[in-house]
Amino acid sequence: IKGYIINNTEKKAAESELKKLSKAVEQSPHSIIITDKHANIEYVNPFFEKTTGYTLKEIKNTKPPFINSNKKKTNETSVVLNAINSNGIWKEKFQNKKKNGELFWESVTISPMYNEHNEITNYICISEDITEKIEAENALLRYQNQLEHLVEERTKKIELINERLIEEIEKQKKTDEELKNHNAFLNTLLQTIPNPYYLKDKDKIIVDCNEPFAEMLQLKKEKILGNRIEDIRPVAKREWYSKYEKIENKLLKKKGVEFFEFDRHEFNEYNYYLNYIASVENFEGRIIGLLGIIVDISERKKLENKIALSLEKEIELNQLKSNFISFVSHEFRTPLTSILATADLLELKGECLEKSKILEHIKRIQNSVFVMNDLLEDVLTINRIEKGVITFNPQVDNLKATVEEVINQMKNHLKHSQKIITNKFVLPEEGRYDKKLLKHILENIIGNAIKFSNYYGIIHLNAFIKANNTLFIEIIDGGIGIPAKDFPHIFEPFTRGKNTGEYKGSGLGLSIVETFVKMHNGIIKIESQENIGTHVTVELPLEDGTIQK
């Protein structure tokens, strides 16, 4: 028995390599043709069939299409093969035709295939569809020709335009010079006007301004230019700034002119300004910025306020006159009627009346006169206040004695079982105050407490000096109180609560008290509830200054 061992490793490797090459040919994105040594087709890959529409069966043993092209000569095969055999490779571009008659361009490369004896056994042809490239080159060529034609025409036109352009340049130079002079005039005008002026671009950046504007902001021009107004001055929190922003945004969108008023706190007072803002356009009519001119209207505002105050004062005086007439006709009629009736009674029956009755009627007449005197005194006091006759005249005096004097005096006016109780009474013997005004304040407030309390009412009074050297007076009663509806008007002249009809009075007392307290730079506070009572506090500084309210 004989046995043979054959090593076919190399054969297997060769077969594997052959399979790889076969796969590569089959899956190639280019058309591949393999011919015999006489250029007869033996194999085409799937891409060739897809591109041309021909199958291997249809063209097997025929010449490749680029050799058989009707545009080639009959001896083309030999020429191509000779070229390949001489140079080892042949490249060419040509127009081929698909099975459906469609023409397309290809770039073809043909190389020979050799056996182990270095003999040509086959030819491999690889072709690439370059139709799009050729068309692009042709289009480029056509465009180049067209461009050259256009350049030639444009050159002729440019020569003509140049002649006209020279004329236009001369005209433009003249126009530019006129515009330059005009701009210089405008710039001189804007820089020399007394009103603050500024120019902003479309981003609201200040690009120009005059010296009055810089002085208004208290800055150098170089610190202003190139910045937004809110970057150099903290104005964003001011109430008018949001309105200013809305106006600017509006004018940057639509051409127009707007204005608005604003105020600035300068030199310990508020000054008022009117800012005119206009859209700025370029020669094309496009909005490129904003122009602003500021006018100081402080004097006008002061005059307007003065007129408004005068008008308000006149209205107030007219109302005061009307109230006074109504007050006189009502309040004076009652005591006058009482006096007249009592006098008539004494005249008719005086001889028949007992002495005690006569004295009672005389007392009634005296009381009516006292009431009229008090009413007239209040009216005259208001008149003296309006005319400025009554002035604040503080002097150093015995404060404790003054307040005690008023309290003791007012105790004489207590009704039946009424009492004045001082819970806290600690006052210095010396203080700087207006004695006359202070006495009037105390008499009026204590008098109201007595008048509007019942016969058994207790009036609490406290008086002492606070830490800030301020006289503090507190008076509390349990009287009829002030109706809520009347409370907002308690300091208005000739104002009386609806529940005070049976009590005599002018309605001027609290108005006078408030005025005298303000003369002291003091404050008065009143809290009251109807049918419960009233709580009054007065604070008067005993030194120059104003109480922090």
pLDDT tens digits, residue range 180-195?
766 676 677 667 778 8
pLDDT number for residue 548: 45
Which range (89-93, 231-235, 479-483) has the least confidence? 231-235
- Judge whether residue 173 has pLDDT over 60: yes
* Rounded CA separation 63/76 (Å): 11
Going by C-alpha positions, the residue among 166, 245, 249 that lies closest to residue 202 is 249
β-strand 523-529 against 533-541: which pairing, if any?
antiparallel
Interval 262-277 mean pLDDT: 80
Question: Which of 8 and 541 is assigned the larger pLDDT?
Answer: 541
**Angle at the Cα of 210 (from 209 to 214), degrees rounded to 5?**
85
Torsion angle of C-alpha atoms 299, 304, 307, 312, degrees rounded to 10: -140
Helix (H, G, I), strand (E, B) or coil at 112: strand
Going by C-alpha positions, the residue among 483, 490, 412, 484 that lies closest to residue 447 is 412
- Judge whether residue 437 has pLDDT over 70: yes
pLDDT number for residue 205: 92
**Mind listing the domains of the chain with CATH numbers?**
20-129 (3.30.450.20), 193-296 (3.30.450.20), 307-387 (1.10.287.130), 395-541 (3.30.565.10)
The continuous run of DSSP H or E covering 19 comes out as helix 9-27
**Angle at the Cα of 20 (from 14 to 22), degrees rounded to 5?**
100
10-25 b/e (C-beta count within 10 Å ≥ 16 → b): eeeeeeeeeeeeeeeb
Q: How confident is the model at residue 12 (pLDDT cuts 50, 70, 90)?
A: low
- The tokens for 400 are 């404790």
- Percent of the chain surpassing pLDDT 70: 77
pLDDT number for residue 539: 95
Q: Beta-carbon neighbour count of residue 528 at 10 Å? A: 21
pLDDT number for residue 253: 92
- Judge whether residue 226 has pLDDT over 80: yes
pLDDT number for residue 164: 83
pLDDT number for residue 547: 45
Question: Which of 344 and 150 is assigned the larger pLDDT?
Answer: 150
Q: How confident is the model at residue 71 (pLDDT cuts 50, 70, 90)?
A: very low
Share the mean pLDDT of the chain. 80
Q: How confident is the model at residue 11 (pLDDT cuts 50, 70, 90)?
A: low
Which range (65-69, 91-95, 166-170, 432-436) has the least confidence? 65-69
Beta bridge partners of 199: 208, 291
Q: How confident is the model at residue 403 (pLDDT cuts 50, 70, 90)?
A: very high
Which range (116-130, 247-261, 318-332, 410-424) has the least confidence? 318-332
pLDDT number for residue 162: 82
Q: How confident is the model at residue 335 (pLDDT cuts 50, 70, 90)?
A: low
- Who's near 457: CB < 8 A, 6+ residues apart? 418, 419, 449, 450, 477, 478, 479
* Rounded CA separation 331/337 (Å): 10
Q: Is 285 left (phi over 0), alpha (psi -120 to 50) or beta?
A: left
Residue 419's φ and ψ, nearest 5 degrees, are -135, 150
Torsion angle of C-alpha atoms 15, 16, 19, 25, degrees rounded to 10: -110
Highest mean pLDDT, choosing among 125-134, 331-340, 377-386: 125-134
pTM (predicted TM-score): 0.40
Which range (106-110, 112-116, 159-163, 366-370) has the least confidence? 366-370
Q: How far is residue 71 from each of residues 79, 84, 100, 110, 489, measured CA to CA in Å?
A: 14, 20, 18, 19, 119
pLDDT in tens, 339-394: 777 777 776 776 777 777 777 777 777 766 666 666 666 666 766 766 677 788 89
Q: How confident is the model at residue 289 (pLDDT cuts 50, 70, 90)?
A: very high
- R_g of the chain, CA atoms, integer Å: 58
* Rounded CA separation 46/32 (Å): 9
